[in-house]
Chains A and B, each alone.
Chain A
Amino acid sequence: MINPIHSLAQFYLPPKGSTFADVTDPLFDAILWISIVSFVAIVVVMCWFAIIYRRRPGYKPLPSPSHSTLLELIWTIGPTLILVWIFFQGASGYSTLRTPDQDAELIEVTASQFNWKFTYPNGDFGDTLHLSVNQPVRLQLVSEDVIHSFYVPEFRAKMDVMPGRRHSMWFKPTLVGEFKLFCTEYCGDGHSKMVKNVIVHPEPWDEMMRKYVRWKDAENHPVANGARLYNVYCSGCHSFDGSAKTGPSFKGLASSTNREFVSGSPLTFGGADSDEWKNYVSESIKRPDARIVKGYANQMPSFEGKLSEEQLGYIMQFLKAVDGGTYSEPPKPEKTQ
């Protein structure tokens, strides 16, 4: 069946930019029709009564009942049934909106007055959201100051961004193009300027990432570069806050003066600037099986050829920052894309 108002939908709804539009728009139209029918009925009846029963010379009103239980029941139960239907439609659509797709790619979103920052799986970040058509994404939202809200009208997706707690939202863009991202929770003077671009690229996710989301080392602080490499390659097995994971924590590594191993003699360092320390770190990354730290198993893959000498340097800068206390959270953006 063709919805006659569908061609008009462009008039009151934005283009369908994600799979959610197919969830929310039909219910939107259904409620619209229910409303139009009941509203027109009410107004027509009201005006009709006002005209034919108006006070005028020679008009004598006929008596009429002052209550009718049957009518009351009809107009209590009738609307109730319609409302129950709307509620279930809304609720089932809502669970779609809130249940992320299994294949969703994770992007971290950090909001602050009055900026958005998107951090991608490869550690790159920027203030434009690059997406790939038909690739579901899950956004993990957190705010640095006050409450913000993430809203892209075309995606029919919205979620508040709270300070102090992380929320997730997801969607699957279906329309290639450039859209606007609005902040919809009032956040201060620049609230209406907290608008950024969302670009949905036609390329598949991996290709899109290679093309548009590329970390540019030269534009960043060495510690930020190191942190990014840590997040991408190391954070699965090594913590930097002292907690134990598969491998030893990085906390205290840069300030340690000696290290004991499962086999072989212990090493002593003269601090993180000494050649011994740098050689040891470099060796642990390229040939991790050469020395196994006491208390751990030989599980780490080799990163020989995957990381350049320059990148090794960034990691060492990061390790030093961890022990110097200057690194406790991901670095703030110092650049815009």
Chain B
Amino acid sequence: MATVTQKQQLFGHAASNHYLDASRGVMSWIFTLDHKRIAIMYMYGVIASLFLAGIFALVLRTELYTPGPWFLSNAVYNQMFTLHGAVMVFLFIIPSVPAIIGNFVLPMMLGAKDVAFPRLNLASLWLYWLGGIFFIVVLSTTQLDTGWTFYTPYSTSSSKTNVIAATLGAFILGFSSIFTGLNFIVTINTMRPKGMTWFRLPLLLWGLYSTSIIQVLATPVLGITLLLLIVERTLKLGIFDPAYGGDPLLYQHFFWFYSHPAVYIMILPAMGVISEMLAVHCRKEVFGYKFIAMSSVAIALIGFLVWGHHMFTSGQSELTSLVFSAITFSVAVPSAVKVFNWLCTMYRGDINLSTPMLYVMSFIFLFGIGGLTGLWLGALSTDIPLHDTYFVVAHFHYVMVGGTMTALLGGLFHWWPKFSGRMYNEPLGKLFCFFVFAGFNLTFFPQFIMGSLGMPRRYHEYAEIYQIYHQASTWGAFTLGIGIFGAVMVLVYAWFFGRKASGNPWGAATLEWQCSSPPSFHNFEHRVIVSEPYDFESVIYDESVDGYIPVIPKRDLAPNQQPATATH
């Protein structure tokens, strides 16, 4: 029978030689092929981008406290909202969940040592840095004032700012995204351990798989579009600019062919994270597993066919608008299905109201509002007055920030024991989760009201009737800022001073919790036992490791191996 020491070695806190300690020095990080280190380095970049773009947002919100210009000029205001959007979209939210949580957890959920192409993974990290450098170039030169959408002909002929550096940066980040997606698809296809059938994949992997399909299929179109935009701006090609015989609507079609599916690149992995955390913290098998899994795939596929709903007022033909509106509504159904299944998962659960679970509940609340307000924008007649107003701004912030960022923060808290080998401070985690939730609603709910009253987006100066909503929004933004900063600080503190975590502190059944915390360089020290991902009876609490350990029935023991755990 296994001794306590053996158990602690296998399922407790890793004593030494874990991935953080396996090698030392800056070079061992920069040239690492380890998916876990790559994930950690992505995390630095993504969180830094979040703070940078978040500071832009706070400056914008402060400026908007008064109707007239306060301390920013029109030009600086425009540059700031552009960079807020561009940095948030390209450097924060698109890489966020797949690059951090996906990179770290995906191979371990498959019981694998690494992703299929570790070098490609490192290349995509380097491309992410390179793309980031281009944005730093933009920041330190003439800035950028086109809006993150780079609409032509403004971006090709009118803007005096550094459009080329920014689009090149976005182009490079696109390839980073493609490589990550390609890597994930191949890894999930070819590196599943025996016994892990498609319907035994944890739902996060379904989410990441659907996301990767979009990344591989949609991002190249953005790439060629941005490339054409760069050539158009330098050589006056006449493909997008009507002054030389081009068609600006073609640009919008190309751009949204990527950028609408990109919304699902942002939200699908977040939904996967929510499914994982919900199951673990309710200690309950996910209700309607197959429907949640298939709804991710359905969202990914239908998501390719709805881009025209960004262009209802652009003058595209009536029939086109009708078709896009109809398909848009059909993508709402799988999202609703997910929410109902999540609720049913909670039914008769053993709900641990930990910080990750509070983020899950925030997600359902905020994503509920974000999704439902999409109904106004998908319906043709109500979209017309609301298009390009603050209503749209509030809607996509509820989905992308309220959805994805909440899931990312919750996911970081949930997997932090695995990342760092330490537990975070639970009361403080909950406190800042509350700040995030309250601040978020205070920031963006008033924007629905002023949007429906007609406040256009991207306005530096506005009429006084909208001021009360802008003021509420500004106060909310600072509350939200405190919440996010506090949450990150709780994690940072835990990294250095937190209580040591066991291999499986939550009692989760997916494979990544079968390694020690933090995992060793090769992830697994012992044989991986593949079971249903949400079979919570396969783990049992063991006081000697202060965490959960797998239950292995005696008859299944491998001939040459001692049982790693006690049976019940």
Contact = CB atoms under 8 A, between A and B. Distances in A.
Contact present between A and B (CB < 8 A): yes
Interface of A: 11-14, 20, 23-24, 27-28, 31, 34-35, 38-39, 42-43, 45-47, 49-50, 53-55, 59, 61-68, 71-72, 75-76, 79-80, 83-84, 86-87, 89-98, 113, 145-147, 149, 151, 153-154, 156-160, 162-165, 167, 180, 182-193
B1 to A, nearest CB: 29
Interface stretch (B100-108, B115-123, B147-155, B182-190): B147-155
Given A49-B351, A159-B313, A42 B339 contact: yes
Contacts of A13: 452-453
Interface in B143-200: 145-147, 151, 153-154, 157-159
B364 A55 contact: no
A55 to B, nearest CB: 5
Given A83-B332, A156-B385, A90 B453 contact: no
Contact of B383 (A14, A39, A62, A90): A90
Given A38-B372, A192-B460, 11 more contacts: A27-B379, A27-B381, A35-B373, A43-B364, A54-B353, A55-B353, A79-B333, A86-B379, A146-B158, A157-B385, A192-B459
A39 B369 contact: yes
Given A149-B313, A151-B388, A191-B78, A165 B379 contact: no
Interface size, B (range): 35 or more
B364 A87 contact: no
Contacts of A90: 325, 378-383
Contact of B385 (A24, A84, A86, A163): A24
Interface in B16-40: none
Given A34-B375, A59-B350, A90-B325, A188 B159 contact: yes
Nearest to B286: A66
B458 interface: yes
Interface in B230-286: 242-243, 247-249, 282-286
B347 A64 contact: yes
Given A42-B343, A146-B158, A151 B382 contact: no
A91 B319 CA distance: 10
Contacts of B454: 14, 151, 153-154, 182
Interface string B63-96: 0000000000011001000000000000000000
Q: What 7 pairs across the A-B complex have the smallest Cβ distances?
A: A153-B454, A164-B242, A93-B381, A90-B379, A94-B380, A192-B459, A49-B346
A159 B387 CA distance: 10
Interface in B327-342: 329-330, 332-333, 336-337, 339-341
Interface stretch (B42-50, B206-214, B288-296, B560-568): B288-296
B318 interface: yes
Interface string B335-370: 011011101101111111100010001001100110
B142 interface: no
A5 B389 CA distance: 22
B5 interface: no
Nearest to A54: B351
Given A147-B248, A167-B315, A24 B364 contact: no
Contacts of B348: 53, 61-64
A51 B381 CA distance: 41
A61 B373 contact: no
Contacts of B333: 76, 79-80, 83
A160 B351 contact: no
B248 A164 contact: yes
B151 A186 contact: yes
Nearest to B465: A14
Contact of A158 (B145, B247, B384): B384
B153 A147 contact: yes
A39 B154 contact: no
Nearest to B287: A66
Nearest to A60: B350
B322 A71 contact: no
Contacts of A31: 375-376, 379, 382
Majority SS of interface residues in chain B? helix
Contact of B285 (A46, A50, A66): A66
Nearest to B358: A50
A35 B398 CA distance: 15
Nearest to B249: A162
Contacts of B282: 53
Contacts of B243: 163-164
Contact of B349 (A61, A94, A184): A61
A190 B379 contact: no
A105 B250 CA distance: 31
Contacts of B336: 75, 79
10 contacts: A24-B382, A24-B384, A53-B349, A72-B291, A79-B333, A93-B379, A97-B381, A160-B313, A162-B242, A164-B248
Contacts of B78: 186, 188-189, 191
A23 B343 CA distance: 35
B326 interface: yes
Contacts of B2: none
A89 B329 CA distance: 13
Given A13-B453, A145-B153, A46 B343 contact: yes
Contacts of A79: 332-333, 336
A68 B288 contact: yes
B465 to A, nearest CB: 9
B308 to A, nearest CB: 13
A64 to B, nearest CB: 4
B457 A184 contact: yes
Contact of B329 (A87, A158, A180): A87
B525 interface: no
B101 to A, nearest CB: 23
B368 A53 contact: no
A40 to B, nearest CB: 10
B314 interface: yes
Contact of A49 (B283, B343, B376): B343
Nearest to A168: B315
A80 to B, nearest CB: 5
B463 interface: yes
B440 to A, nearest CB: 15
B329 A53 contact: no
Given A90-B382, A162-B248, A189-B74, A12 B154 contact: no
Given A31-B382, A61-B349, A79-B336, A46 B314 contact: no
A109 B181 CA distance: 46
A89 B287 CA distance: 34
B461 interface: yes
A86 B375 contact: yes
B343 A35 contact: no
A47 B353 CA distance: 11
A117 B151 CA distance: 23
B153 A75 contact: no
A14 B349 CA distance: 46
A252 to B, nearest CB: 28
A186 B388 CA distance: 9
Nearest to B451: A12
B389 A87 contact: no
A158 B380 contact: no
A11 B449 contact: yes
Nearest to A183: B456
B434 interface: no
B267 to A, nearest CB: 17
B361 A46 contact: yes
